[in-house]
Amino acid sequence: MASLKTSEPRRSSGQPWYFHPLLFGIYPIVALLAANISQIRPEAAVRSFIISLVLAVVFYGLTILVIRNRSLSAVFTTFIFLLFYSYGHIYQLIEGQMVAGLDIGRHRFLGSLWLFLFGLGIWLIFKKARNAQTFNSLLNTVSIILLVLPLFQIVEFEYRASRVKTGTNTVKAAPITTSAGKNLEPETLPDVYYIILDGYSRDDILKELYNYDNSSFYTELRQLGFVIPDCAQSNYARTALSISSALHMDYIQEFSTLYKQGDQSLDMPVYLDYIQNSPVRSHLKEFGYQMVAFETGYFWNEVTDADVYIIANDNPLEKVKQGRDVSEFEVMYLRTTAFRTVDELKSKFTQNLVKNIRTPEEKHHDQVIFALDQLEQVPLLPGKKFVYAHIVAPHAPFVFSPDGRYISTGAVNPGYLDAISYLNSRVIPMTKSIIENSKVPPVIIIQADHGWDADHRMEILNAYYLPNGGDELIYETITPVNTFRTVFNAYFGDDFELLDDVSYFSDDEAPYAFVEIPHSCSSGKSPADMP
């Protein structure tokens, strides 16, 4: 039997470098980032990239020292990386699948198969690949091609994002202009709070789908002076579309270049531009308003150029703490590798290993609580304020107990309902505090961007605190596209024409393939019922 340790002549000047193990070692990171670049900033992948590159260099170097054959070592290293980095992807494809009565979507099956492939691969490599210069050259070429494609996608995306951020070739809609009341006294103008509760469904839908009685929350809001339309619906079923439309006081079909170009996917840098540079913001700025915005965890929905941008980790102690965080990208990356087996075994060893690491779910929990806490302090800021607060709850991940403790269930019931209970307990005292601490009675809009259930995405919570008679302008079927038209007409001397209130459903696969959903106050037609 031949020894695994073989020697080879010293590398001549004409012998190619076998660099493909290093490129295959970092390719999964780059490919995963490219696939999620519209939702995740590249800096989220830096730590994973560095660790993967270092491990690839160390592992490749060790195989060279042990095997003592560069050609063989390169093929062996790349083979190990292919097995390691493909495991999670394959498991995700077959999880829960049955074949001829056999449950193949289990770690015991896939792990056994991977061990067999490992043994078979080792045998073939050491038997057939001792002189594999041609094969290594092919792997070099393949690794370059594989890496270039996602790198190009990332660079192209970042280039477009940078042009939008700097205002170069921006595609934002032109602001709507009317004869505003320029002679209004600034001290009489109200602060404007636009609070988005992400995925908060209407009360009748909560009752119908989950048997959850939300009437006490509605009653408390009304006692504070809110008016809540019974037939409230969103204009769109996707967050970016819904918020952009509301802040532009118009329909996506009317102002979005992406829609008019027939794009097949949401281009998030463009929606970042729509949200950052909206007509609502610019119109309020004409009256001397400063914008107050909050960190959300989604780059395309963060107005970082706001006059006051409130971020959770903004002191040295918190920044030190961040080093112990695991980002959502890192969790997603680890679950595409063979580490998925370690994560799902839930052994005492792994639990002790990660007990001092803050997970993305825990960060989400802390970030929501931080935003709610800070909202109560915003009235103390000087000057006139337009407050844009997107609270990413009761949207998943479901990490709240009814009293606000961290608890991860992963299930809509009770996770989603517990999140609503907690939000209700915070929203009432928060809005009461905002009202009591405002020098001029404020305008407060508490609005969901969409509902939660897939078949009831349009029915939303939509509550208005419009003092001094503004609430009389609210009607049962008002949608977000008319929210700020109504506010500006009531308090800023404007005369905006109200648009027809229409709800357009679309899904992630075809975000601009709109299907009109009629208004309904109970169990009307859902997207599934539409032709």
pLDDT in tens, 52-74: 999 999 999 999 899 888 888 89
Interatomic CA distance for residues 439 and 190, integer angstroms: 9
What is the DSSP secondary structure assignment for residue 18, as one 8-state letter? -
Listing DSSP states for 172-200 in one string gives: PPPPP-----TTS-GGGPPPEEEEEETT-
When pLDDT is cut at 50, 70 and 90, the band that residue 166 belongs to is low
pLDDT at 350: 52
Residue range 330-375, pLDDT digits in tens: 777 887 888 777 665 655 545 555 555 667 788 888 889 999 999 9
Query: Which ranges of 229-337 does DSSP label H, i.e. alpha helix?
Result: 239-248, 252-255, 257-261, 268-276, 279-286, 316-322, 328-334
Between 485 and 174, the more confident residue is 485
Average of per-residue pLDDT across 117-138: 81
Query: Which ranges of 315-466 does DSSP label H, i.e. alpha helix?
Result: 316-322, 328-334, 339-345, 348-354, 360-375, 412-436
Residue 37's DSSP bridge partners are none
pLDDT at 525: 38
Least confident residue range of 9-23, 92-106, 452-466, 476-490 = 9-23
Q: In a 10 Å sphere around its CB, with 0-12 CB exposed, 13-18 middle and 19+ buried, how is residue 528 labelled? A: exposed
Amino acid identity of 142? V
- CA 272 from chain centre, in angstroms, equals 13
Write down the architecture of domain 170-181+191-236+246-511 according to CATH: 3-Layer(aba) Sandwich (3.40)
Q: Where in the chain are the domains?
A: 20-160, 170-181+191-236+246-511
Average of per-residue pLDDT across 314-330: 54
Least confident residue range of 315-329, 377-391, 471-485, 489-503 = 315-329
Between 349 and 127, the more confident residue is 127
pLDDT at 215: 96
Strands (E), 62-215: 98-99, 102-103, 192-197
Residue 294's DSSP bridge partners are 310
